């Protein structure tokens, strides 16, 4: 049995490449950022019409460092007073694993996803089962369970 090649030494996380309106959207949908999550971040596209699109846009907000968007799409009852995004975490991919309800016809919805990241040169993954609800008509994030904990 051959030995595996030594893994590369961990390096400090490289700064995230800048996301522009024409970049592929970080959320993984086959669309440009400006036509996908970016229009929700800057408000030009109104609010996300489904819980899944809100989840995707919140993931993309982590990628681009838009803490204000994360706070305003958080249910007032569970929203933190301040949100410090860790500049040492680089988010590298989102996989939506399951969605329940959360459409124009629902008041609540859930989205199960895995988000991948690199922190201090080490890859990691966050699995979460998130709950969403409507607040003043718009989808907001309520809270989540971490099924692999
Ligand atoms: Zn997107």
pLDDT digits (tens, 9 = 90+) for 81-127: 999 999 899 999 999 999 999 999 999 999 999 999 999 999 999 99
Q: Quick one: average pLDDT of 32-43?
A: 98
User: What pLDDT shows up at residue 18?
Assistant: 86
User: What pLDDT shows up at residue 11?
Assistant: 52
Alpha helices in the chain (DSSP H): 38-41, 51-64, 67-72
Q: How far is the CA of 74 from the centre of ligand 1 (A)?
A: 18
Q: How far is the CA of 19 from the centre of ligand 1 (A)?
A: 11
Domains of the chain: 33-145 (3.10.450.50)
Q: How far is the CA of 120 from the centre of ligand 1 (A)?
A: 25
Q: How far is the CA of 70 from the centre of ligand 1 (A)?
A: 14
Q: How far is the CA of 52 from the centre of ligand 1 (A)?
A: 10
- 101 and 133 Cβ atoms separated by less than 8 Å: no
- 28 to each of 11, 15, 41, 60, 115, how far by Cα in Å? 25, 20, 16, 9, 11
Label residue 17 by pLDDT band (50, 70, 90): low
Q: How far is the CA of 61 from the centre of ligand 1 (A)?
A: 9
Q: How far is the CA of 73 from the centre of ligand 1 (A)?
A: 15
Q: How far is the CA of 21 from the centre of ligand 1 (A)?
A: 11
**∠ Cα 88 89 90 (to 5°):** 115
Give me the percent of the chain exceeding a pLDDT of 90: 84
């Amino acid at each position: 049995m051959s030995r595996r090649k030594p893994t590369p030494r961990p390096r400090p996380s490289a700064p995230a490449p800048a996301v522009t309106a024409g970049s592929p959207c970080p959320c993984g949908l086959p669309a440009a950022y400006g036509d996908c999550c970016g229009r929700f971040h800057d408000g030009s596209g109104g609010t996300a019409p489904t819980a899944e699109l809100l989840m995707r846009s919140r993931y993309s907000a982590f990628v681009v460092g838009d803490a204000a968007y994360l706070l305003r799409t958080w249910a007032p009852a569970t929203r933190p007073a301040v949100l410090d995004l860790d500049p040492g975490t680089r988010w590298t991919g989102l996989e939506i694993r399951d969605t329940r309800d959360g459409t124009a016809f629902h008041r609540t919805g859930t989205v199960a996803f895995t988000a991948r990241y690199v922190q201090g040169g080490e890859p990691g993954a966050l699995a979460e089962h998130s709950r969403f609800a409507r607040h003043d008509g718009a989808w907001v994030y309520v809270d989540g369970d971490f099924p692999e904990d």
